[in-house]
Amino acid sequence: MTNFSYVIIGSGIAGMSAALRLAEKKMGKVCIITKGPLISGSTPLAQGGISAVTNLKKDSYESHILDTMKAGQYTNNEKNVKILVESGKQIIEDLQRWGSIFAKKQHLEGGHSFPRIWNAKDRTGNNIAHALANNIVKHKNIIVQEHSAAFHLDIKKNIIFYRNFSLQQTFALHFNCLIIATGGYSSLYAASTSPPGNTGDAIAMAMQAGIITKELSKIQFHPTVLKKERFPRLLLTEAIRGAGGKIITADEKEIVNPLLPRDIVSHAVWKNEMNGKNIFLDARNITNFHEKFPFITNILLSEFQINPETDIIPITFGAHYCMGGIATNENAQTNIENIYAIGECANSGVHGENRLASNSLLEGLVFAKQAVDHILKNMGKNKTRFPADEKNKILYPLFISSDKPKEKIFFECIQNTLSQYVSIERTKENLQQAKNIFSKMKPVSTREENALFMALAIVEDCE
């Protein structure tokens, strides 16, 4: 068994920024465990940007707080919202210090009162991910275990077990502090904007270890997702609507104010679809669309032969972001000492019922900083003792591989069931139908078991 001061599960914006902050303090070895390569997951897919108030002459913290609370239907944790918003300026400065380059002009997105979205056109997440990764690989005290999935947590011994898919071996790590930063679980839905790996494995693992979760049924559906077969579904950034894009029917009638918060716009798209209407995003009035949104323009033209400057774009809604997750406080602490959760896998309460656009990258960065600050402040107070080397004494059963075609069918059943019965509007009858289907499913691998556990947890939280 290998001993690390800090183990971080996940290499998105939250996990990588936490690793960098710990490494910069030179307080011990850091290990990052990530399902794919270092740059993977949802962060590189983030198009719009980071909401941050940096010009207090034109904008204000109060305005950003109010916009966040309003989008969340005033059910947000106001204390954490205040921390989120007031940390924005420092976060942007830290990202620039790490090498992120932003456009000179901040743009406007739905739900925001002012243009406060720091962006790199429509490749913001990708640019930030590369800047963070470039710093990660320079630090000798950060070890990255790529293509590896954590699947069992022993909170009594502070041990995490993970499977390395490249080596086809199982390993165990002992930690002083564990930070869970594994993203959300919206890929448990058929129409999702998230990578296939976002199925909530680590959240299920945490729950089974005794870590408390909260509001798992709160899943945000994005209203402008390309209605073409593709996985993950192509998200058409909120910034398009901020720049003047409209949501229309085939006969070009607007169905909703495009600048309203996502839950309202998504519901309008869903309602019109239920009435048999095809819905489109109309961006033809945006001048120089290809310059403002080069990434989206390229994909639409090359993969789907859609020119956004001359054609209306077929859209639907898709499962996008999870507000629920591991319950945390203002320091990203869970109910278990020395275990933290940050980013989309956590429920910090900042989003309430509905996340305000571009608050997600900010949340991951802010609460990564909150967690690291708390860890360093309490260094030495709650130190655990590393056990004797137990290399050959791993008692937990290995990650069982299942037949891949059968596993695909298993996941498709979960995705289709959640999409049909646990979507934007939910009824008792539909929730019971979902439970009936899930109760008959028999997982044969740890991955299937965790996915089914999460799917049932979402349904039960709806009730």
Dump pLDDT digits (tens) for 132-159. Answer: 999 999 999 999 999 999 999 999 999 9
- Residue-level pLDDT at 380: 58
pLDDT, one tens digit per residue, over 159-204 is 999 999 899 888 999 999 999 999 999 999 998 999 888 999 999 9
- Residue-level pLDDT at 420: 95
Q: Known catalytic residue: 262?
A: yes
Please indicate, yes or no, whether residues 315 and 340 belong to a single structural domain of this protein: no
Please indicate, yes or no, whether residues 327 and 196 belong to a single structural domain of this protein: yes
Tally of structural domains, the chain:
3
**Catalytic residue selected from 123, 163, 241, 262:** 262
CA distances from 455 to 74, 137, 225, 435, 458 (A): 27, 36, 23, 9, 5
Q: Which amino acid is at 279?
A: I
Residue where a domain stops, chosen among 320, 341, 356: 320
Please indicate, yes or no, whether residues 81 and 160 belong to a single structural domain of this protein: yes
Q: Mean pLDDT score of the chain, rounded to an integer?
A: 92
With cut-offs at 50, 70 and 90, classify the pLDDT of residue 407: confident
Rg (CA), the chain: 22
Residue 355 lies in a domain: yes
- Residue-level pLDDT at 384: 46
Please indicate, yes or no, whether residues 165 and 259 belong to a single structural domain of this protein: no
- Residue-level pLDDT at 388: 44
Please indicate, yes or no, whether residues 72 and 182 belong to a single structural domain of this protein: yes
pLDDT of 104 above 50: yes
With cut-offs at 50, 70 and 90, classify the pLDDT of residue 382: low
Please indicate, yes or no, whether residues 408 and 372 belong to a single structural domain of this protein: no
Residue 290 lies in a domain: yes
- List beta partners, residue 338: none
Residue 97 lies in a domain: yes
Residue where a domain stops, chosen among 320, 345, 365: 320
pLDDT of 230 above 80: no
- Residue-level pLDDT at 399: 52
With cut-offs at 50, 70 and 90, classify the pLDDT of residue 393: very low
The model's pTM:
0.91
- Residue-level pLDDT at 402: 56
- Residue-level pLDDT at 389: 43
Please indicate, yes or no, whether residues 6 and 143 belong to a single structural domain of this protein: yes
Q: What are phi and psi of 61, to 5 degrees?
A: -60, -40
- Residue-level pLDDT at 387: 45
Please indicate, yes or no, whether residues 272 and 135 belong to a single structural domain of this protein: no
pLDDT of 107 above 60: yes
Residue 398 lies in a domain: no
Residue 150: domain span = 2-218+323-377
Residue 385 lies in a domain: no
Residue 256 lies in a domain: yes
Please indicate, yes or no, whether residues 332 and 307 belong to a single structural domain of this protein: no
Instruction: Output the domain CATH number for residue 59.
Output: 3.50.50.60
Q: Which residues of 120-149 are buried (b: 16+ CB within 10 A; e: fewer)?
A: bbbbbbbbbbbbbbebbeebebbbbbbebb
374 vs 231, which has greater pLDDT?
374
Please indicate, yes or no, whether residues 79 and 177 belong to a single structural domain of this protein: yes
Residue 330 lies in a domain: yes
Instruction: Output the domain CATH number for residue 244.
Output: 3.90.700.10
pLDDT of 396 above 60: no
Mean of pLDDT values over 288-312: 95
Please indicate, yes or no, whether residues 313 and 357 belong to a single structural domain of this protein: no
DSSP 425: S
Strand-pair category, 339-341 with 169-180: parallel
Strand-pair category, 313-322 with 219-226: antiparallel
Strand-pair category, 313-322 with 279-282: antiparallel
Please indicate, yes or no, whether residues 156 and 91 belong to a single structural domain of this protein: yes
Residue 387 lies in a domain: no
